[in-house]
Amino acid sequence: MEILKLNPVFKDYIWGGTKLRDDYGFKSSLEKLAEGWMLSCHKDGENAVLNGEFKNKTLSLVVKENPEFLGENGKKYEYFPILIKLIDAKNDLSVQVHPDNEYAMRVEKEYGKTECWYILDCDEDAELIYGFNRNLSSDEFRKAIEENTFMDAVNKVKVKKGDLFFIEAGTLHAIGKGILLAEIQQNSNTTYRVYDYGRLGADGKPRELHTEKAVDVTVCTPPTRDTNPEGELITGNGYSEQLLTKCDLFNVKKISVTNEYSDVADEKSFVSVLITDGNGTIDDTEIKKGDSLFIPANYGEFKICGNIEGIITRV
């Protein structure tokens, strides 16, 4: 069994910047690199494998032919459960909300979307929108969208590097300008746009809003979680690690390696390793900032050596 290195897929949405090229060294013919899809089996942008016996196959095909790679937890899902992205917001993203599984399966025939954001870098004054600053009724929410006053009711939060936002399905949210983050989310591309700052899309027209669906699914209350990682920082010999968040959909931790770190891909889940800084090795494979690795379930112990910052995700 081997570790698969994945080829990211880029999206040039209008709000994107160039940090994924300038800071991460990704190569792409797109001018703006708004999003890099780092672990993706989604039809809108599938990763291919860059190395080894599965080279040039899509990850979706590899896991279809080798379902045991998903592990016991991963196999419970109808299709590949998560999607991991790097997002570079040079400008504000639209204010949006995602449905939960029940609504999304019924209306959109795909999973809903709970997601989490880990802030990798940000401007000093960067902020984002996270839920409401008070309780609203659905009618008040609809009225505020129609009358263009709902920005008065949103909860604006200043961000700093290392913050963790858990965005449960139904939570109103928007990434603000000057923020670079890693997003771990359910494998879904269903987004209901509520407000787009009056901007025009690439075709010169305003992008579509989805007010009725947004009103259906939005939980109009302030968020209940803070923005700290859930776990304590654990320092070992040559590494530190910290649980960022865990829920029944995914478990995400951050590692910081100065010498050597080892972990195990057991029978329960595949393991995603996203390298957010530095360089080194993972077993026999060389790794550097921006690399994304898929480790099959039951692979066993793997060792990360060198100077590495990374995010490790399981389902």
CA distances to 42, 93, 120, 130 from 178, in Å: 27, 11, 11, 16
Among 193, 170, 183, 172, residue whose Cα is nearest residue 101 = 170
Locate 144 and state its tokens: 């505020």
What contacts 223, CB < 8 A, 6 or more positions away? 130, 131, 155, 171
Sign of the torsion formed by the C-alpha atoms of 185, 190, 194 and 197: positive
Other CB atoms closer than 10 Å to residue 134's CB: what's the count?
13
21 given a catalytic annotation: no
Other CB atoms closer than 10 Å to residue 102's CB: what's the count?
11
Q: With residue 211 as reference, give the H or E element that holds it.
A: helix 211-217
Query: Residue 232 carries which side chain, given as an amino acid letter?
Result: E
CA distances to 4, 13, 63 from 254, in Å: 20, 27, 25
Q: Residue 64 — φ and ψ, nearest 5°?
A: -70, -40
Considering 193, 199, 225, 314, which one is annotated as catalytic?
Answer: 193
Query: Residue 125 carries which side chain, given as an amino acid letter?
Result: D
Residues labelled as active-site residues = 193
